[in-house]
């Protein structure tokens, strides 16, 4: 099985604007097992700066809009042409109504982008998995950016999300507070096929080593 390790750069000063290429290069230097797929999610305006990455790059957000009179929208076609392989949808910091999530998944996939739809609970995972994204990602918002991982604090959230998404055969990722290989290993034991991380890597003294430590959890 191939596991996904997605690093969301958010809009941290150390990982956006002119710093984007620096951190994606640092993450590209990480040595990860062959069964671990490294992905970096960048602000759409920084996609052009992430082209030096030798791993997959996702947009942090796109809208269900195409060429035309859509001022202020991030269109999937542009994200794809700028090098994005996929996109996050409905991150807790950029939530959308269900009908917009469904339209975004459809449009992004029609454009050739993979989709990872985020949701805060197993109940919400059940809803979004019905839209057939490539992945569903459960992230309890109260644990995001904290010191305790979802796999330690709320393990049932992961196992229940996996069960909820299994009806639609959608694999589940998890995030929120994940910082160590033990956190990752525990998530895998609960049925997750990958993790989402942000501050644990972006704010680490050595992001390359932080990724390598997390990746080790998929082989423990």
Is 105 buried (19+), middle (13-18) or exposed (0-12) by CB count in 10 A? buried
Distance (Å) of CA 159 to CA 57, 132, 198: 27, 19, 22
Annotated catalytic residue within 55, 102, 107, 139: 139
Distance CA 101, CA 112 (A): 16
Burial string for 117-154 (b: 16+ CB within 10 Å, else e) reads bbbbbbebbbbbbebbbbbbbbbbeebbeeeebbbeeb
168 assigned to active site: no
Tokens of 192: 């997750």
Phi, psi of 117 (to 5 degrees): -95, 125
91 assigned to active site: yes
Annotated catalytic residue within 55, 61, 91, 107: 91
Please give the positions annotated as active site: 91, 139
């Amino acid at each position: 099985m191939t596991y996904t390790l997605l690093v969301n750069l958010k809009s941290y000063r150390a990982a956006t604007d002119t710093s984007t290429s620096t951190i994606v290069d640092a993450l590209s230097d990480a040595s990860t097992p062959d069964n671990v797929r490294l992905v970096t999610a960048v602000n759409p305006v920084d996609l052009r700066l992430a082209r030096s990455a030798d791993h997959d790059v996702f947009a942090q957000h796109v809208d269900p809009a195409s060429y035309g009179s859509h001022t202020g929208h991030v269109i999937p076609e542009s994200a794809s042409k700028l090098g994005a392989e996929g996109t996050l949808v409905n991150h807790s910091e950029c939530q959308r109504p269900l009908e917009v999530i469904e339209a975004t998944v459809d449009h992004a996939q029609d454009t050739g982008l993979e989709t990872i739809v985020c949701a805060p609970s197993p109940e919400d995972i059940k809803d979004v998995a019905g839209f057939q994204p490539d992945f569903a990602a459960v992230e309890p918002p109260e644990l995001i950016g904290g010191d305790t991982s979802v796999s330690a604090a709320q393990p049932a959230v992961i196992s229940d999300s996996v069960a909820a998404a299994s009806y639609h055969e959608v694999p589940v990722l998890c995030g929120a507070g994940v910082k160590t290989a033990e956190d990752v290993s525990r998530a895998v034991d609960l049925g997750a096929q990958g993790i989402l991380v942000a501050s644990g890597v972006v704010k680490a003294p050595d992001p390359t080593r932080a990724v390598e430590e997390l990746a080790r959890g998929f082989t423990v």
